[in-house]
A = this chain, B = another copy of it.
Amino acid sequence: MRVEIWTDINCPWCYVGKARFDQALAGFEHRDGVEVVHRSYELDPSRPQGVTEPVLPMLAKKYGLSEAQARQAEERIAANAAAEGLEYRTAGRDVGNSFDMHRLLHFSREHGRQHELIDLLYRANFAEERSAFEGVERLVELAAEAGLDAGAARAVLADPERYAADVRADEQEGARLGATGVPFFVLDRAYGVSGAQPVEAFGQALAQAWANHAPLTTVGAARDGEACGPDGCPLPSDD
């Protein structure tokens, strides 16, 4: 069974939600039969690349809060994160354009390192008192830490076309499936879980999707469809 998680590295609830989902998955009896794929979503696709903004003033401006009120809001997210065993720091954090991170996540998936990389990106953005949007070399460093080849990661980041179509396709697919925000979890393309739900809700969703996994409905008569298999192609002269 495949679970797809639409996410943005800028999104605190994605960070918390992933930890809750991971916990539910760790306790799920069929966890070895579950493949997890992280899908791209940009909270602010219009933000220009390279233009970052510290989190607190951004929040204050967006919600018409004082910086003290914005800080309080962040502290409450931090408490949610701490409850999941996650470090969460507001100081030093920027919001930024995450398109390159998403491209790199697609590259990492190709090499079987997506899980490692997304955790490192979240850690860089939320657990360190430092901007995760310092540019290419910072991302190359994280890619290498995730087990990817640094030179190959640098080449991906240097070519804005690489994986761009994958990022866009993820975003369109998410919208088609009904994602209006993230995190957005899709189980077996049949069940949707929106937001950082409690661990129990993810456990329930996993159980429900697993139990109700629907086989494909076959269309067309099998007899009509000539096909090739490991034992070869049926010879038309057998007809």
Contacts and interface: CB of A to CB of B under 8 A. Distances in A.
Contact of A192 (B73, B178, B217): B217
Contacts of A211: none
A216 B212 CA distance: 13
A113 B14 CA distance: 32
A217 B190 contact: yes
Given A218-B192, A237-B76, A226 B16 contact: yes
A44 B230 CA distance: 6
Interface string A58-85: 0100110100010011001100100000
A180 interface: yes
Interface stretch (A119-127, A134-142, A157-165): A157-165
A182 interface: yes
Contacts of A191: 216-219
Interface residues of A, number: 81
A205 B193 contact: no
A200 B13 CA distance: 47
Interface string A98-128: 0000000010011110000000000000000
A77 B228 CA distance: 12
- Most chain B CB neighbours (cut-off 10 Å) among A13, A196, A208, A225: A225
A186 B215 CA distance: 11
B215 A178 contact: yes
Contacts of A217: 190-192, 208
Contact of A195 (B80, B197, B227): B227
A198 interface: yes
Nearest to A45: B230
B216 A177 contact: yes
Given A13-B226, A191-B219, A209-B219, 6 more contacts: A12-B228, A63-B232, A180-B229, A181-B228, A182-B229, A194-B222
Interface of A: 2, 8, 10-14, 16-17, 35, 43-44, 59, 62-63, 65, 69, 72-73, 76-77, 80, 106, 109-112, 161-163, 165-166, 169, 173, 177-178, 180-184, 186-198, 201-202, 204-205, 208-209, 214-222, 224-230, 232-233, 235-237
